[in-house]
Chains A and B, each alone.
Chain A
Amino acid sequence: MRGKASEPGGQKTLPVAKRVLELTVNGDRYEVAVEPWTSLAQVLRDELRLTGTKVGCNEGDCGACTVLVDGRSVSSCLYLAVEAEGRDVTTIEGLAETPDTLHPLQEAFIEHGGLQCGFCTGGMLMSSAFLLSHTPEPDEGEIRRGLSGNLCRCTGYNKIVESVDAAAKRLAADEGGTA
């Protein structure tokens, strides 16, 4: 939880005042001191140690760092941590409602082989969650477009698309069942 600012000898040639931020991540409140240019991905990974958010390119091309901020998907490597103040951040660690359950998307990815190496998986799931939040019953084209910002080199995507489709159908059925 303690950043490099507290490490001895960490002098900077250009001292810049760090700003203390209050962040809400997965419902937990944190206080962190960050430089103005620090990305949200960096804070999540290095300060909060929520390492399920991956950095595959650090320039917003691959989608491995996707998280939700106030319910919208963002590339956390391009999103400044200071912008997240006062907003709700959800990472892959917070996708499931409780630690002992899985989100239907997570279950579907497992069941349908929607992952291999797992490095893109967190970001892929967060983009899928965002997709289903605004398009609960996407067709195949909508799923592919919804995931077009997330690169995967292992699966060839088709099993990921199947996974999202299966999760959407299950969520719709659950909704129908409870209504």
Chain B
Amino acid sequence: MSTPPIIGARIPQLGAREKVTGQAVYTDDMKLPGMLYGAILRSPHAHARIKRIDTSKARALPGVKDVVTGDDTLKVAYGNWRLVPDIQDEYVLAVDKVRYVGDEVAAVCALDADTARRACELIEVEYEVLPAVFSVEEALAEGAPTIRAEKPGNLSLTREIEYGGVDEAFTRAEYVREDTFRVPTVSHAYLEPCSALAAPDEGGRVTLWTSTQTPYIVQVLLAKTLGLPENHVRVIKPQVGGGFGGKMELRTWEFCAAFMALRTGRPVKFTLTRADELAYGRRRHAMVLRSKIGLTRDGVILAKDLDVLLDSGGYNAMGATATFLVGNFGAMLYRIPAYRYLGRYVYTNNPPASAMRGFGAPQALFAGECQLNMVAEELGIDPIELRIRNAMQAGDSVPGVATARTCGFREALEKVRDASGWVEKRARKRPGKGIGVAGCSFISGGVFNWFDTKYHFTSCEVRVFEDGTAHLLTMASDIGQGSDTVLRQILAAELGIDIHKIRLTAGDTAVTPKADLGTWGSRVTLMAGNAVLDAARKIKEMLAGVLFMEYDLNQIHDVAFAGDRVFVRAKPKRGMDFGECVYKALRGRRGEPLTAFGYYTPRDKGLVTPAFSFGAQVIEVEVDEDTGVVSVEQVHTAHDSGVPINTMAVEGQLEGSIHMGLGYALSEELITVEGRVRNATFLDYRIPAAEDMPPSASYEIVTRDPEGPYGAKEAGEGLVSPTAPAIAEAIWDAVGVRSDTLPITPQRVLEGLGKL
């Protein structure tokens, strides 16, 4: 059966008109009658015991309607890792202790935002300041202060992987090297600061509009922290201005909005500032990665030993997943017969890190890909050739973890080599100019049920009507990437109707079917897409019978859906309009609406993901040896994301990934001194601007993954990883400076050149 033309089409987001006219509504755009404004009081100390909180002056301020502290709450620890209760270590408002600068201590709501903020300043908190630690090494040192009583020594989590006889394999290696890499903490820097608006609903229920990637997770954890049945809590995701992993947990302002809405009987809204986001918000993990690799003299990888220290900050957040995934990505891309990984997740008194685009891959691949480039140099093998010799291929497994059923890595490497003129450019040295390469791989949704959901990983409902239209209801969350359009493309392809005839309702926990775990891990297209296929096929079964009856069809016939028609596949003239077919089916069902639920849960798909993407990137740079400034001149990317459903959206993900990877490589770092972020403005925390973006050429390596809807795999995250190691290699090629630390600032380049 041929693929319908809408699969792979360049379709602008269906909600684009609302976005370009300013009509699209984000959480902070909303205002409800009687609405109060919230503000949060945060800890000024990195580590302290709370001895006393006096809120009386704040309460007495005219216009203040409510003040809450940890003592007003149920004091239940919560977190996304419901599967392992011990990992849940966070409170909606601090209980007894604060563990980082910015830890939330109290909240106020008032008639206006200025009054709420002023009231926060009137809350008196008496702290007993405790010794604090700000690096993983300090935190693990003997005698370090304990940050969480349950984890003396501050080692929160450990993850080990070992297979293939690593020690023995290293003895056979003709070439071994060991390197240590350091990567900093960086911000998601989504443009929309977090915002949450809650309103009381009848019967003690509550509705929360929030800028989130995971309405279901917020619903469940909000119910837990409020002590309400889940069904009393309705979470609605309006338009979301980007997330990149930073909006996938229940956060204090969401709780406080709902809690105080219930206490005051009035809507309450919290909106963070940019300084809140940069100074205290979730961030990508800083890591120290020690990597040892052993190869034969002709560059065949025999063994790898990866030891990683992850800086948790004051709470675990999504750290258990990070600790697992770094180990997983450390073993990807190449056939590594013997592999050992030790990941240690360490509490510090820095602001907590959590999920961010690529989750574990940017760090693991900066280390792994930089190291492979160093290996290539020393063995005298071209870095792309070295990769091709070791590249994973379709059918390869990472032992005990996952199988890559499709893999376009080798093709991607060959494509960027040929398209970039790699061979010639590497051979012909030009002063100050260099060219580098790196690869990447990523998951298409996670398999591991850390949230311990009792529902399907994703669900949807499809309804069809006698006017020829359909309605798709899904909890899947479009946070800007365009999944609301992609899922409708899949439904339009299956039902054979015009995409504009599909109404969509998404991200409302009271209306859309339970459940969907949210937008993270590049899971939406594959998982929610499969649920749409499931529901659509059930609808088609309901409709096919109409044709069999109408035309008295032989049992062997098949019914096709295309062009807003339903027809006998072998005899296309025998058929009817889609709407007429629904009408007839409806009559036959004596009025029972045509509706179907679709589900997807990855079962028997290993431990990581149902499908891996692959990619390779070649980057050309020019380095100014006097100033140390690196200019990226051209990016060439080849990417195996399976069958792209929406080419424009896939390109958008790719170019956005390059932007984020470029910042990670050259300019972004939350400079944190004793737990305090010193560059909490966009002027000082530099994400690339339009002038910084290099020209970019991209090539799709199309594979048809058996698990993906129409063969699709992930496109949103994999490509955030290769940019930094490819730039690092290009800088070395240009001026002979290797950096094992990010970002590669002009200062680091000049230090490498011996000029500082």
Interface string of B662-693 (1 = CB under 8 A from A): 00000000000000000001110001111101
A132 CB → nearest B CB, Å: 15
What size tier do the contact residues of chain B reach? Answer: 35 or more
Residues in A with CB closer than 8 Å to B28 are 55
Say whether A53 faces chain B, with CB atoms less than 8 Å apart. yes
- Cβ contacts A to B, 8 pairs, < 8 Å: A116-B481, A148-B689, A152-B191, A153-B659, A155-B659, A156-B693, A156-B696, A157-B659
Establish whether residues A45 and B273, one from each chain, have CB atoms under 8 Å apart when the complex forms. Answer: no
A115 to B63: give the CA distance in the assembly, Å.
40
A148 to B687: give the CA distance in the assembly, Å.
11
Query: A144 and B690 in contact (CB under 8 A), knowing A106-B20, A153-B660?
Result: yes
Interface string of A118-141 (1 = CB under 8 A from B): 111110010000000000000001
Establish whether residues A49 and B31, one from each chain, have CB atoms under 8 Å apart when the complex forms. Answer: yes
A54 to B274: give the CA distance in the assembly, Å.
13
What size tier do the contact residues of chain A reach? Answer: 35 or more
Residues in B with CB closer than 8 Å to A51 are 22, 25-26, 29
Establish whether residues B687 and A151, one from each chain, have CB atoms under 8 Å apart when the complex forms. Answer: yes
A22 CB → nearest B CB, Å: 23
B399 CB → nearest A CB, Å: 36
Query: A159 and B691 in contact (CB under 8 A), knowing A117-B190, A118-B239?
Result: no
Residue of B21, B193, B689 touching A151 (CB-CB under 8 A): B689
Establish whether residues B655 and A115, one from each chain, have CB atoms under 8 Å apart when the complex forms. Answer: no
**Residues from 86 to 128 in A contacting B, C-beta threshold 8 Å:** 91-93, 95-96, 102, 106, 109-111, 113, 115-122, 125
Q: Other than A51-B25, A158-B693, give 6 A-B pairs with Cβ distance below 8 A.
A: A13-B61, A55-B28, A110-B16, A153-B660, A159-B652, A161-B690
Establish whether residues B687 and A92, one from each chain, have CB atoms under 8 Å apart when the complex forms. Answer: no
Interface string of B22-65 (1 = CB under 8 A from A): 11111011010000000000000000000000000000011100
Identify whether the interface residues of A are mostly helix, strand, loop, or mixed.
loop
Establish whether residues B656 and A52, one from each chain, have CB atoms under 8 Å apart when the complex forms. Answer: no
Residue of B19, B649, B693 touching A118 (CB-CB under 8 A): B19
A65 CB → nearest B CB, Å: 11
Residue of B15, B111, B482, B648 touching A7 (CB-CB under 8 A): B111
A135 to B192: give the CA distance in the assembly, Å.
30
Query: A54 and B61 in contact (CB under 8 A), knowing A117-B242, A157-B690?
Result: no
A159 to B650: give the CA distance in the assembly, Å.
12
A-B CB proximity, top 6 nearest: A52-B22, A117-B480, A119-B241, A118-B19, A156-B655, A61-B682
Residues in A with CB closer than 8 Å to B31 are 46, 49
Q: Which residue of A lies closest to B65 (CB)?
A: A9
A117 CB → nearest B CB, Å: 3
Say whether A58 faces chain B, with CB atoms less than 8 Å apart. yes
A53 to B659: give the CA distance in the assembly, Å.
24
Establish whether residues A10 and B20, one from each chain, have CB atoms under 8 Å apart when the complex forms. Answer: no
Establish whether residues B112 and A4, one from each chain, have CB atoms under 8 Å apart when the complex forms. Answer: yes
Say whether B17 faces chain A, with CB atoms less than 8 Å apart. yes
Establish whether residues B274 and A56, one from each chain, have CB atoms under 8 Å apart when the complex forms. Answer: yes
Residues in B with CB closer than 8 Å to A50 are 22
A125 to B263: give the CA distance in the assembly, Å.
42
Say whether B244 faces chain A, with CB atoms less than 8 Å apart. yes
Establish whether residues B193 and A56, one from each chain, have CB atoms under 8 Å apart when the complex forms. Answer: yes
A155 to B479: give the CA distance in the assembly, Å.
13
Residue of A9, A56, A61 touching B111 (CB-CB under 8 A): A9
